[in-house]
Amino acid sequence: MDVFQQKKKSTGRKKIEIKKLVKDANKQVTFSKRRAGLFKKASELCILCNVQMAIIVYSPADKLFSFGHPNTEAIVSRYLNGSTEFEPAKTRGRSGTYEEYNREYDEAIKVLEAQKKKLAEIETLAKVWNRGEWWNESIDEMGADQLEQFMLSIYALRGKLAERADQFPMMFARL
């Protein structure tokens, strides 16, 4: 028998009987696969026929999934209002251009980087303090926040020492 004349060993795609699935695990797997296909077909229909569409689905695990073209909120509100006119959904109290959103994004990234830098400084300071030698560290390279924290720690230490000294009045003379 020739290599080209051999038959496939896999059964390929088969038509399945449509009936309610019994096992919960099978329901979830089937839902996940078919949901993706449903949303893909809906997207194709919207593009090919220039229609607006919304699909809202709850999974067997009671998670909400939705598809909407141009967006789900606009389609649902159009349906609930009984309107035949399409009104794009408002952008939740914000109107802006891509440039504004990009600017806001850039600002958020800068804030995030600053927070990461501050976290790194705090972690470094925490390592020093956890070694128990924080009083030996130079204060020349500390930032304002670190100096303030250092000062508060010194005052807290001073207060604890004073409390401890009050417990032993005969051993320590107060200055």
111 lies in the same domain as 147: yes
In this structure, the number of other CB atoms found within 10 A of the CB of residue 129 comes to 15
Higher-pLDDT residue of 4, 75:
75
Q: Residue 72 domain-assigned?
A: yes
Question: Residues 141, 143, 144, 150: is their CA dihedral positive or negative?
Answer: negative
Dist CA 24 CA 60 (whole Å): 8
Q: Residue 2 domain-assigned?
A: no
pLDDT, tens digit, for every residue of 106-145?
899 999 999 998 888 888 777 766 666 656 667 777 778 8
For residue 52, the domain's CATH number is: 3.40.1810.10
105 lies in the same domain as 77: no
76 lies in the same domain as 103: no
Coarse DSSP helix, strand, coil percentages of the chain, rounded to the nearest 5 percent? 55, 5, 35
Query: What is the domain extent for residue 112?
Result: 99-167
pLDDT, tens digit, for every residue of 110-119?
999 999 988 8
Residue 89 confidence (pLDDT): 47
114 lies in the same domain as 156: yes
User: Considering its fold, how many domains does the chain have in total?
Assistant: 2
